[in-house]
Amino acid sequence: MSRRHVLSVTVRDEPGVLVRIAGLFARRGFNIESLSVAQTERPGISRTTFVVIGEEETVEQVEKQLQKLVDVIKVIDHSEAPFVDRELMLIRVAVSSPEDRVEIRQIAQDFRARIVDVHRDALIFEVTGDAGKMDAFIDQMLPFGIVELTRTGRVALARSGGQERLQPRHTSFAQTEGLSNA
Amino acid sequence: MNGAAAVLAALERQGVDTVFGLPGGAIMPVYDALYDSDIRHILMRHELAAAHAADAYYRASGRPGVVFATSGPGATNLVTGLATAQMDSSALVAITGNVASSLIGTDAFQEADVYGITLPVTKHNYLVKSVEEIPRVIAEAFHIASSGRPGPVLIDIPKDVQQAAFSGYFEVTVDLPGYRPTTRGNQRQIARAAQLIREAKRPVMMVGGGAQSCPEAVNEFARITGIPVISTLMGIGAYPYGAPNSLGMPGMHGTVAANRAVTGCDLILGAGLRFDDRVTGKLSGFAPDAKIVHIDIDPAEISKLIRATVPVVGDLGNVLPELGEQVGKLEIDEWWTTIREWKATYPERYRAGERMVSQEVIELLRDESGGGCIVTTDVGQHQMFAARLFTTDRPRSFLTSGGLGTMGFGLPAAIGAAFARPGEPVVVVTGDGSIQMNIQELATVFKHRLPIIVAICNNGMLGMVRQWQEMFHAERYSEVYLADCNPDFARLAEAYGIAGYNISDRASARSIVREVLAKGEPAVLNFEVEEAEKVFPMIPAGAGVGDMIIGDQDPDDVGDLPLGEPEGVGA
């Protein structure tokens, strides 16, 4: 059965590691729905999070091929255990009248979206949450006119009890912490 | 000491004594350091040939091969060689020069993104950024290339890094947290595998290239259990082809016995192989009744194409002895009776008329060499004939491009093998198409007076393509005819200083083969053979093993023509 898998891949922060992974996906005909990369608590180690859709066998093969890469330290398929995942979106919404402005701000409040840029003709919101929340917010804004938007792709961590520590903790990086706490 | 000297010092620490290559601008510092080094460099005439030679050096000896090339075209010429090594799991370390760091990315003279280009055709690759990295990178490269599932590793070194002063240490510990091949098999999995094998009524063992590194374990397992053994193209020689338990090669051009056994068996013990499509044919038709026990060191190969009932990840050399102990002697007499019947009904046979055929040329070479030589092949009909007829009982002695199917592999591979195992004669079984893809290496053969015999099965055609066109493209022979402008191969050999013979009749064939084998000197034997000969049996591409076309291997089709007694000729 084809379903969505969220894979966390910890990698050595070597030049070209992303190219290796992207190339592997392309070469073996695997499709990536979303991809994000960030540093972890350990210097020199990055975490990439993939969302892939595929049959069980295909995803198993993806994991094995990833694991074969010398720079890949660990592959975790979050779909097999509870996990938290978040995404960040920046979205510029057109404002054509004062009434619209009020309504847009009201909806944004309901979504706990932050205004990060204000202009006479448009507002930029920062929205964080899971993919469903992003899609719902986009739906709400469509009637007003979306000028442009960008999304980070999903990041994920296993819930407590399921996580594997890489080594004794060093400094935390706001980048990843900020996203998952939103 | 500069970076280039550090490269050579690091190679010496890895026990490297032979390197194949060709110099150029961006790798000149390394070649300058080579001038003072004890490492022997074999100057080839093309970088691709150097890569194949280094690849074959590993295949013949088990020691990683090393190749040098310059930046740009030198490095891009390596690509086919790297892909060949990658597909056949051959340990190869390629070192390329690149333009100076300050010029990288500027489209400088002879600049190419070698790191990017070779990424998908190597097990791992490096772009060295500073001179201090050299000892660590080289140590890692050899570790990665030769451990786990072997493969090619490329190290790209900018010229300024080669020239920079080096004052570091050579003592490095390899620390690769993401690379820890599993070599010991899981005990519970081995026990489960043993139970399945014991319960099987009709088991077969299929050995692949992974078996070349542990032939003793394979032999011992076959001896203890009495299991029938099938050798894939890459596994030939790991288990003696002539042994009574051997059924020969499976797959598209495999033997009738091997393919019937695969279709009829109730268990396959896959050992160090990857169930390539040329072995399985259509997946749904492959071994329909069989449970699969799959032992391989690469977990990604397990259940990639054929779902394993019981997977065992580990080194075959470790797993097989434990497994054999638990399996013990198998009671499969009935199964053996069936198999022996297949073997007896379908011995290797061919039809020979007025003209010689490739099969008898290969048999002649085998018989006259007494099986004591290393065989390399190119790709095509002659390759399949050689795989089935130039049978060797020795591991690491049948060298062929299996996965990538690289025409042009044979001659440079023979050079690599000749340096890996000095003193042993090497026979290149090739075709008139393949040999012209690296024929310039006759110069290298001449230079070192290597005991290499190039046997061209010259049918004036790209024979395998012709066969497919005859069988599947309504005899529309598109762009396969070579005869009208083939060179005179004997004279060409002579131009390189090598003895050359054009041979068109059986009578002279044997005496010439005998003569050149006795001399132990390089020779090119151009055998003019029948152009329309086809390789049988054949499983058409995309068909199942059960759809095998037996062709002239069928006794009813050709009458009783046992091996070595072609029609109309007194043996």
- CB contacts of B307 in chain A (<8 Å) are 57
Angle at A68 (CA atoms; ends A63, A73), nearest 5 degrees: 80
- CB contacts of B120 in chain A (<8 Å) are 23, 27
pLDDT for position A28: 84
Q: Any idea what DSSP says for residue B541?
A: T
**What band does B571 get if pLDDT is binned at 50, 70 and 90?**
very low
- Give the tens place of pLDDT for each residue, B481-495: 999 999 999 999 999
The segments of chain A whose pLDDT lies below 70 read 161-182
pLDDT for position A153: 84
- Give the tens place of pLDDT for each residue, B246-295: 999 999 999 999 999 999 999 999 999 999 999 999 999 999 999 999 99
Q: What are phi and psi of B118, to 5 degrees?
A: -95, -5
In chain A, which residue's Cα lies nearest the Cα of B306?
A: A57
- Give the tens place of pLDDT for each residue, B345-398: 999 988 878 899 999 999 999 999 987 899 999 999 999 999 999 988 899 999
Residue % of chain B over a pLDDT of 70: 97
Rg of chain B, C-alpha, whole Å = 24
Q: At how many degrees (to 10) do helices B215-225 and B316-327 cross?
A: 10
- CB contacts of B304 in chain A (<8 Å) are 61, 64
The answer to whether the CB of A49 falls within 8 A of the CB of A78 is no
Angle at B91 (CA atoms; ends A26, B206), nearest 5 degrees: 80
What average pLDDT score do residues B135-141 get? 98
User: Within its chain, how far is the Cα of A45 from the centroid?
Assistant: 18
Q: B299–A60: do the CB atoms touch at under 8 Å? A: no
Query: Which residues, 6 or more positions from B149, have their beta carbon under 8 angstroms from its beta carbon?
Result: B89, B123, B181, B210, B296, B297, B298, B301
Q: Please give the span between the terminal C-alpha atoms of chain B, in angstroms, as a whole number.
A: 65
Q: At how many degrees (to 10) do helices B358-369 and B506-519 cross?
A: 40
The answer to whether the CB of B346 falls within 8 A of the CB of B257 is yes
Concatenate the DSSP letters of all residues of chain A into one string: --EEEEEEEEEE--TTHHHHHHHHHHHTTPPEEEEEEEE-SSTTEEEEEEEEEE-HHHHHHHHHHHHHSTTEEEEEEGGGS-EEEEEEEEEEEE--SHHHHHHHHHHHHHTTPEEEEE-SSEEEEEEEE-HHHHHHHHHHHGGG-EEEEEE---EEEEPTTT----SS-----HHHHHHHH-
What average pLDDT score do residues B121-131 get? 97
- Give the tens place of pLDDT for each residue, B290-316: 999 999 999 999 999 999 999 999 999
Determine the distance in angstroms separating the CA of A156 from the nearest CA of chain B, rounded to an integer.
21
In chain B, which residue's Cα lies nearest the Cα of A25?
A: B120
**What band does B566 get if pLDDT is binned at 50, 70 and 90?**
very low
Report the alpha-carbon distance of residue B60 to residue B359 in Å, rounded: 24
Which is the catalytic residue, given B249, B252, B461, B464? B464
- Per-chain mean pLDDT for chain B: 95
Does pLDDT of B409 surpass 90?
yes
Does pLDDT of B530 surpass 50?
yes
Beta-strand relationship, B65-69 and B18-21: parallel
* Position B372, amino acid: G
Which is the catalytic residue, given B12, B14, B28, B110? B110
Please give the ipTM for the structure prediction. Answer: 0.86
What average pLDDT score do residues B117-124 get? 96
pLDDT for position B506: 92
Beta-strand relationship, B246-248 and A122-129: unpaired
> Of B464, B475, B478, B429, which Cα lies nearest the Cα of B538?
B464
What average pLDDT score do residues B423-433 get? 97
pLDDT for position B256: 95
By the 10 Å C-beta count (0-12 exposed, 13-18 middle, 19+ buried), B95 is classed as: buried
More confident residue, B149 or A28: B149
Positive/negative CA dihedral, B189, B195, B197, B199:
negative
- Give the tens place of pLDDT for each residue, B430-467: 999 999 999 999 999 999 999 999 999 999 999 999 99
Q: A72–B178: do the CB atoms touch at under 8 Å? A: yes
pLDDT for position A154: 85
- CB contacts of B113 in chain A (<8 Å) are none
Report the alpha-carbon distance of residue B535 to residue B350 in Å, rounded: 9
State if pTM tops 0.95.
Answer: no
pLDDT for position B135: 97
Residue % of chain B over a pLDDT of 90: 91
| Least confident stretch, A36-45, B229-238, B534-543 | A36-45
pLDDT for position A161: 65
Supply B486's token pair: 């083939």
Neighbouring C-beta atoms of residue A147, cutoff 10 Å: 15
Size of interface A-B (CB pairs under 8 A): 40
Has B133 been annotated as catalytic? Answer: no
pLDDT for position B276: 95
Supply B182's token pair: 């599993």
What average pLDDT score do residues B13-39 get? 97
> Of B341, B379, B347, B377, which Cα lies nearest the Cα of B362?
B377
Report the alpha-carbon distance of residue A2 to residue A87 in Å, rounded: 23
What average pLDDT score do residues B74-102 get? 98
Report the alpha-carbon distance of residue B517 to residue B523 in Å, rounded: 9
Report the alpha-carbon distance of residue A150 to residue A91 in Å, rounded: 6
pLDDT for position B565: 41
Neighbouring C-beta atoms of residue B334, cutoff 10 Å: 10
